[in-house]
Amino acid sequence: MAETLKLMCILAHPDDESLGAGGILAKYAAEGVETHLIMATRGERGWMGDAKDDPGPEALGRLRTGELQAAAQVLGLRDVYFLDYIDGNLDRAEPSDAIGKIVRHLRQVRPHVVVTFDPFGAYGHPDHIAISQLTQAAIVAAADPAYGRINGEAPHRVAKLYYMADSQELVDAYLSAIGDISMNVDGIERRARPWEDWAITTRIDTARYWHQAWQAAACHRSQLPDYERLSQLPEQVFLKFWGCQTYYRAFSLVNGGRQVEHDLFEGLR
């Protein structure tokens, strides 16, 4: 394929790109793929430190924006786009407005491959679920000539969509290194659950890039109150985070079936 390949991750909060997709973003950028990121919020409500030190949503949003920009440089991202919804409120965003914003970026960038959260939001986070739903709707709308042109951009058809699909090894690594990943939503405790091994369609070897992914993750110091301890973890633990990144191929216009892929751009090169 003569044209430059393009990858776009569409995620919810600053640090999702490093912790969830740092390996693939570093790998594909190093291979000459254009890597782009749409971030739904600026993480304004994600203070992880002592409550008395919480700077408040506006200041925290600025801090986390800066952290993301630093991480983006480490990962070699071409561009970062913010949708500017409020952290924790994405599931209450007006759908047509949010879909329209994503469509505009899809039509301008024209990515071949899009990666987002799975429909269950990894551990049931409402923002993660919402961005997954909005991304799927926007991909359909972006390809539809009847949806109308936004800023004169022509329709664009994404070739492949992937969900981040946490493996058992990754979930175990989080539990041992960071602790339980859970949140209470409407009185119900939601926790991270791994995908069944047979359901993972795509395994990307990113072992060469774990240092870079960790360096990007470390830019998000506001989210790592235990940074000093984490930085001393042995290499084998970091490799469980970023040695192999796993995905579910939600749809593909170029290939399918049961065969496990080892390249998000399989069928496009």
Q: What is the pLDDT of residues 166-218, one digit of tens each?
A: 999 999 988 888 888 888 898 999 998 999 999 999 999 999 999 999 999 99
Examine the pLDDT at 2 and tell me if it is beyond 90: no
Phi-psi region of 179 (alpha: psi -120 to 50; beta: other; left: phi over 0): left
- Euclidean distance between CA atoms 113 and 251, whole angstroms: 10
* Mean pLDDT for the stretch of residues 46-57: 79
Q: What are phi and psi of 153, to 5 degrees?
A: -80, 135
pTM of the model: 0.95
Q: Is residue 41 in a domain?
A: yes
Residue 140: the pLDDT is: 97
* Mean pLDDT for the stretch of residues 13-26: 97
Q: Please provide the average confidence, as pLDDT, over all residues in the chain.
A: 94
Choose between 54 and 244: higher pLDDT. Answer: 244
Q: Is residue 39 in a domain?
A: yes
The predicted-structure confidence for 128-143, as pLDDT tens digits, reads as follows: 999 999 999 999 999 9
Are the C-beta atoms of 37 and 18 separated by less than 8 Å? no
Q: Which of 88-102, 169-183, 219-233 has the lowest mean pLDDT?
A: 169-183
Among 45-49, 188-192, 262-266, top mean pLDDT goes to 262-266
We report the CATH number of the domain holding residue 112 as: 3.40.50.10320
% of the chain beyond a pLDDT of 90 = 82
Q: Is the dihedral of CA 193, 174, 18, 239 positive or negative?
A: negative
Q: Is residue 262 in a domain?
A: no
* Mean pLDDT for the stretch of residues 247-254: 96
Residue 46: the pLDDT is: 79
Examine the pLDDT at 104 and tell me if it is beyond 60: yes
Domain of residue 145: give its range: 6-252
* Mean pLDDT for the stretch of residues 31-60: 89
Residue 1: the pLDDT is: 46
Examine the pLDDT at 103 and tell me if it is beyond 50: yes
Q: What are phi and psi of 38, to 5 degrees?
A: -105, 125
Examine the pLDDT at 233 and tell me if it is beyond 90: yes
Q: Is residue 100 in a domain?
A: yes
Q: Are strands 113-116 and 244-252 parallel, antiparallel or unpaired?
A: unpaired
Number of structural domains found in the chain: 1
Are the C-beta atoms of 236 and 85 separated by less than 8 Å? no
Q: Is residue 258 in a domain?
A: no
Choose between 47 and 111: higher pLDDT. Answer: 111
Q: Is residue 237 in a domain?
A: yes
Q: Is residue 136 in a domain?
A: yes
Beta bridge pairs of residue 115: 9, 162
Examine the pLDDT at 109 and tell me if it is beyond 90: yes
% of the chain beyond a pLDDT of 70 = 98
pLDDT band at 150 (very low <50, low <70, confident <90, very high): low
Q: Is residue 83 in a domain?
A: yes
